[in-house]
A and B are shown apart, each in its own frame.
Chain A
Amino acid sequence: MAYVLPQLLIETAPRFPEKDAVVFQEEKISYAQLDEVSNRLAHVLKQSGVRRGDRVGIYLNKSIASIVSIFGILKADAVYVPLDPFAPVKRLGYIIKNCGIECLLSAANKLESIAAMVAENSPLQRVILTDHPPNPAAPAGLEIMGWEQVLQASSAAPEIKSIETDLAYILYTSGSTGDPKGVMISQLNAFTFINWAHDAIKVRADDRVSNHAPLHFDLSIFDIFAAVKAGATLCPVPTDIAKFPGKLAEFIARQKISIWYSVPSAWVLMLSHGQMEKFDFSPLRTIIFAGEVFPTKHLRRLMEKIPHAEYFNWYGPTETNVITSYQVRELPRDPGQPIPIGKACNNMEVFAIDDKDRLVTAAEMEGELLGRGSGVAQGYWNDVAKTAALFVRNPLQPHYHDRCYRTGDLVKMDAEGNYIYLSRRDHQVKVQGYRVELGEIEAALLNHEEVEEAAVVALQNGEQVTYLKAFVVPRHGRTLSSVDLMRHCARYVPKYMIPEVVEIRESLPKTSTGKTDKKLLAASV
């Protein structure tokens, strides 16, 4: 029975060798081919010096090559680190240094960005190109390997030494003090989620599973590994198509997607501009959403348009992957009532502790949600302090060290025992489903020489869509334009973290304890 992720592919390939494992635009790869080429990549990685537990980066757009890379790295007993293909080079350079990436899987059109990333003392030594450029220009100090070398390597199955407590991948998330933090996910963490999800959704070999989320977002873990476990076909959504609601709706219909998992905003866009009536969604049997609240009025419209599908609301931070699930059957009459995050998944547990350290057991109580079980991640890479603060000993278990994760989400319970999300304790928000620490954006703004103070708040527009607004106080006597400040942010944080609006102020209001009064700022029109 599989206990490390590459074994899912190794077990599926002989069962369905000719079946399409991945289809992408005009290309496809069978399970036998995926198994074989990932073997070859694993050998090349090991021969080039990748050792067990080494972090290997993936810096690619959506492609078959990125899926091959994941399995090749795992088969080499290494840890894959997906890098957001559209993040600023500064941020990616930080990640490469932070977890010591020496080898990167990438493509020729990214070499210029890679050169910019390694400018300052980077551990990166080698880039393996997954495309076939004729004469790739190697950035200074880096070795470039072409894909021909991979195709010439042995296709024999490499010996896999990893065990379930080894790391499988590291996903970087927004960090409140300015730098992203790497969540360390072990093989066992991944399996805890994948085994539950595969069974809960009953993924089968005849399913066609989309992959809308980027690889650095943990929704992709379900797409890729539940599909491979079942022998289903994975259909990554091309980046272009994902931006156009009509094209996205057409993709789902044309590709006969049967299981779709995404953030709610993908559907909100399709509902408003996707001309969904033009397309046949009858193969779509399961729609799963996570990452942010799905406004009830939009979900209602979706359920009216695709009434035959089963709908699931999944909840869980990157540090646990999905930990609770709620099947949406009927919607609350009152559009203001939130859809519950539900109950713990099989083999996982959640509980909430209120501010008097009592367990939340009844509908009037509110508390912070904690997750426990083998799905709880190993911590943050190289950050003992942050890890200790959030990965804590179970306060309800005196006899042994039972690791829990403090989600920072405030919840309550309904009469049926479903948890309902209320709010955050801190300054973390969701924008388009992505996790954003307001502090990371504030830190980026404060990096600007002419910025004296900065505060960022999250607001909602008329459509219940969250957007970011920054308030900036320039240094005495200096003038700043909001465009300059947005440009400045773009060098540090990904697009979805750049404030939509920047307001220049002479000063920021303070609370009685001297902190910036964000409530007042958020309320000011």
Chain B
Amino acid sequence: MNEIQDQIKNYIVTKFAFDRSALNPDDDLLNQGIVDSMGILQLVNYIEENFGIHIDDEEINPDNFRTLKALTDFVSQKKPAPQAA
């Protein structure tokens, strides 16, 4: 779970949150202009490619994208956990 969060966080910080020193899991990505409308789709593309999952159009909504934590939870429940060796 932490690895998923770290990867998403790293993508967002690199691509969008240029002027912030830290991105907290509960920071609102939508109301503070961190991610704009182009950014949402770029994020969708990144998640699909990086985690190998498919995001349905109706899953592209504020509930799943509002915070880093929301994104992490969303990706985790789409991505099956690896089996223990």
Contacts and interface: CB of A to CB of B under 8 A. Distances in A.
Interface string A479-496: 000010011111100011
A243 B37 CA distance: 4
Contacts of B61: 244, 246-247
Contacts of B35: 243
Given A273-B41, A273-B60, A498 B31 contact: no
Contact of A244 (B18, B31, B60): B60
Interface string B36-50: 111111001000000
Contacts of A432: 37-38
A436 to B, nearest CB: 14
A244 B19 contact: no
B19 A487 contact: yes
Interface of A is mostly: helix
B19 A273 contact: no
Contacts of B60: 244-246, 273
A274 B57 contact: yes
Contacts, number: 65
Contacts of A498: 18
A243 B30 contact: yes
A495 B16 CA distance: 8
Interface residues of A, number: 30
Contact of A489 (B18, B44, B57): B18
B71 to A, nearest CB: 14
Given A245-B57, A246-B61, A490 B18 contact: yes
A241 B32 CA distance: 14
Interface string B46-75: 000000000001101110010000000000
Interface residues of B, number: 21
B2 interface: no
A275 B19 contact: no
Nearest to B37: A243
A239 interface: yes
Nearest to A87: B33
Contact of B40 (A244, A275, A490): A244
A306 interface: no
B18 A85 contact: no
Nearest to A492: B19
Contacts of A85: 33
Interface in B13-31: 14, 18-19, 30-31
Given A86-B33, A243-B30, A246-B57, A483 B14 contact: yes
Given A88-B19, A247-B61, A275-B58, A242 B37 contact: yes
Interface string A241-260: 11111110000000000000
Nearest to A113: B32
A266 B19 CA distance: 26
B57 A495 contact: no
A437 to B, nearest CB: 19
A246 B64 CA distance: 13
A41 B8 CA distance: 45
A246 B63 CA distance: 13
B35 to A, nearest CB: 7
A355 interface: no
Contacts of B18: 483, 486-490, 498
A390 interface: no
A241 B40 CA distance: 11
Nearest to B59: A246
Contacts of A7: none
A244 B62 contact: yes
A243 B19 contact: no
Contacts of A265: 37-38
Contact of A495 (B30, B33, B44, B58): B33
Contact of A269 (B37, B58, B62): B37
A85 B40 CA distance: 19
A240 interface: yes
Nearest to B61: A244
Contact of A496 (B31, B36, B62): B36
16 contacts: A86-B32, A239-B31, A241-B62, A243-B30, A243-B36, A243-B37, A243-B40, A244-B37, A244-B40, A244-B62, A265-B38, A266-B37, A275-B57, A490-B18, A495-B33, A496-B36
Q: Which 3 A-B pairs have the closest CB atoms?
A: A86-B33, A487-B18, A490-B18
Interface of A: 61, 85-86, 88, 239-247, 265-266, 269, 273-275, 432, 483, 486-491, 495-496, 498
Given A240-B30, A486-B18, 14 more contacts: A61-B31, A86-B32, A88-B19, A244-B37, A244-B65, A245-B37, A269-B41, A273-B60, A483-B14, A488-B18, A490-B19, A491-B19, A495-B33, A496-B36
